[in-house]
Amino acid sequence: MASAKLKYLSLGVLVFQTTSLVLTMRYSRTLQGDGPRYLASSAVVVAEFLKILTCVGLVFKDHSYSGRALSSILRQEILHKPIETLKLAIPSGIYTLQNNLLYVALSNLDAATYQVTYQLKILTTALFSVSMLGRRLGVYQWLSLLILMAGVALVQWPADSPSDPQKEQLTAGSQFVGLVAVLVACCSSGFAGVYFEKILKETKQSVWVRNIQLGMFGLVFGIFGMLAYDGDRIQQHGMFQGYNMLTWIVVALQALGGLVIAAVIKYADNILKGFATSLSIILSTLISYFWLEDFEPTR
């Protein structure tokens, strides 16, 4: 009973989180600031750090706010179980690769084509759930996944405007690179999500301990990425250049995303996660149209 409640609560929070993240990011991009823009690589690191900190707080709460119990759990479950901890390096490394692939995809494809193609992850997730978790899906379930994928793809379908200058600049070669990147990202999203689900559901450790393990690797990979991409800029203007109130909101929402996705994977599953994020794509499109008035639906 409690777990059914948690299932719908986590799915509801995921819809809220994804919708507000998209809208805040969109709003922060249209806002004209005067200083340098914040570094995306730095935002990733800060979000990862916030996520670990919150998970440590949740483990602390689960152990009646005892500092001694907290440090003993962290030592026992993380330091003294290096193999269990190392298992999380796999999804963490794949997520890091995926986040970079999506960057490659967005640099070579227009945003709408990217969004439409990325919906294929709904199907890859279902395929990995069947092959790795032995889940069985009936004809109607496969059919609803296909309809969901087609529906979300249609909502995002690019308007057919021949005079779109952005589109003309994209050569066939770069479109191919973008397409390959997004297709690999669809596979990695499905695999990493289902791998994390398998670890959560087949072992006894708490979801928050698992998330700390995942986040630790994410933090290390993120710091490497940040120094490799933006090392020079950080030396000049620091890691927090261009941060404002909105940046902190985006970072906090991103950190919340990691926590909620973990809860959704634990209490529901990756397939339901796909439904929740699709619902939020439709919601943010509607809000964007009615409130921000910046979306023109195609006919």
Site for ligand C5P, rule CB under 6 A? 95, 99, 189, 193, 196, 211, 214, 258, 261-262
Taking the least distance from each CB to ligand C5P, the nearer of 99 and 247 is 99
What's the closest the beta carbon of residue 259 comes to ligand C5P, in angstroms? 7
- Residues in Cβ contact with 81 at an 8 Å cutoff, skipping those fewer than 6 apart: none
> Min. distance of Cβ 181 from ligand C5P in angstroms?
13
Helices then strands (H, E): number in the chain?
13, 0
The smaller minimum CB distance to ligand C5P, of residues 209 and 262, is found at 262
Cβ atoms of 185 and 105 closer than 8 Å: yes
Q: How far apart are CA 207 and CA 199, in angstroms?
A: 10
Closest residue by Cα to residue 270 from 100, 91, 5: 91
Buried b (16+ CB within 10 A) or exposed e, 36-58: eebbebbbbbbbbbbbbebbbeb
CB of 95 or CB of 128, closer to ligand C5P = 95
CB nearest ligand C5P: which residue?
258
In the complex with ligand C5P, the residue whose CB is nearer, 95 or 243, is 95
Compute the least distance from the CB of residue 260 to ligand C5P, in Å. 9
Output the smallest distance, CB 239 to ligand C5P, in A. 20
State the sign of the Cα–Cα–Cα–Cα dihedral 94, 96, 98, 100. negative
CB-based contact 52:212 (threshold 8 Å):
yes
Nearest residue to 11 via CA among 225, 196, 280:
280
Q: Roughly how many angstroms between the first and final C-alpha of the chain, as a whole number?
A: 44
Q: Is 80 in a helix, a strand, or coil?
A: coil
For ligand C5P, give the closer residue by CB, 178 or 258: 258
CB of 112 to ligand C5P, least distance (A): 17
Q: Which is nearer to ligand C5P, 116 or 214 (CB)?
A: 214
In whole angstroms, the minimum distance from the beta carbon of 142 to ligand C5P comes to 20
